[in-house]
Chains A and B, each alone.
Chain A
C-alpha cells in the first residue's frame, strides 16, 4: 500500500530538548516536504526536498532542520524546541513535484506539544 508514515503520532516534550520526527514513503517519490498546521493559519511549508541531499527552506523554516540521506526518508529535526513550535505536523511526498500533474500524499500527522 502506497503511504507516507510519520512517527511518532503524538509527542509531548520540554523546551530545549532536541527531538526528531521521522517520515518515510514507500512510493519512490523524489519530492518530499514538511508542513505545519495551526488554527487560523492553515498549512504552511517548513522545508522541502527535491531529491537525496537536496533540500531548501519553505515559508517557516526557523527552528527546524531536515536531512535527506536516503530517498525514502525525510526526518524533521527540532534542535531546541520552543512552545511556539507546538503544532500539528505533516510530511508529504510527490512523484514529480508539488503542483505538477501528480497528487501529493500526506502522512497521518504528528501532534507536537512543547511545554
Chain B
C-alpha cells in the first residue's frame, strides 16, 4: 500500500509559467515530509523538511507547503535549470527512524 503519491507524473512548463506539484500521504502521525530534487543520473538532493500543517518553506523559486493530507511544491516563474525530478518522502508509520518512503516523483521539464 502506497503511503506517498505524487502527481502529476510529468509536467512540462514554459519558462516563467508557474505551477504546483502535489504529494499526498496516508501516514498518520506525520513525523516530517521531505522534498528532494533529483537530476538525471544523480542522487537526490535535499530541499525542504515540513513538520506541521500550515508550515511553509521557500528556496529561490520553490515554496513548499503542508496540509494534514498533502504537500505542495509551488514553482514560481521557473527556469530551464529547474528541470528535474522532484521527490517527496515521509518516515513510515510505526515510528521507524531508519528509512524514508519515497513517492515515485514528478518529472518537471521547463522549456526556454
Whether A42 contacts B32 in the complex (CB less than 8 A), given A97-B97, A106-B45, comes out as no
Q: Cβ of A31 and Cβ of B104 under 8 Å apart?
A: no
Q: Cβ of B98 and Cβ of A90 under 8 Å apart?
A: no
Chain A, Cβ-Cβ closest to B43: A106
Q: Cβ of A90 and Cβ of B43 under 8 Å apart?
A: yes
Question: Per-residue 0/1 for A10-42: is the Cβ within 8 Å of any B Cβ (1 yes, 0 no)?
Answer: 000000000000000000000101000000111
Q: How far is the CA of A2 from the CA of B43 in the complex (A)?
A: 14
Q: Cβ of A109 and Cβ of B99 under 8 Å apart?
A: no
Total A-B pairs in contact (CB under 8 Å)?
67
Q: Cβ of B104 and Cβ of A106 under 8 Å apart?
A: no
Most buried by A among B42, B49, B89, B98: B98
Residues of B contacting A105 with CB < 8 Å? 46
Q: How far is the CA of A98 from the CA of B42 in the complex (A)?
A: 19
Whether A98 contacts B43 in the complex (CB less than 8 A), given A42-B104, A43-B87, comes out as no
Residues of B contacting A108 with CB < 8 Å? 42-43
Residues of A contacting B74 with CB < 8 Å? none
Q: A101 interface residue, CB < 8 Å from B?
A: yes
Whether A99 contacts B104 in the complex (CB less than 8 A), given A43-B87, A90-B43, A106-B44, comes out as no
Q: Cβ of A100 and Cβ of B97 under 8 Å apart?
A: yes
Whether A40 contacts B104 in the complex (CB less than 8 A), given A99-B31, A103-B49, comes out as yes
Q: How far is the CA of A98 from the CA of B44 in the complex (A)?
A: 14
Residues of B contacting A58 with CB < 8 Å? 99
Q: Cβ of A45 and Cβ of B99 under 8 Å apart?
A: yes
- Seen from chain B, the residues whose Cβ lies within 8 Å of a Cβ on chain A are 31-32, 34, 41-46, 49, 51, 87, 89-91, 96-100, 102-105
Task: Give 3 nearest A-B pairs by CB, closest first.
Answer: A99-B91, A106-B43, A97-B97
Other than the given A4-B43, A98-B98, 10 more pairs (CB < 8 A) read A33-B99, A40-B104, A41-B104, A42-B105, A92-B43, A99-B32, A101-B51, A103-B46, A104-B34, A106-B43
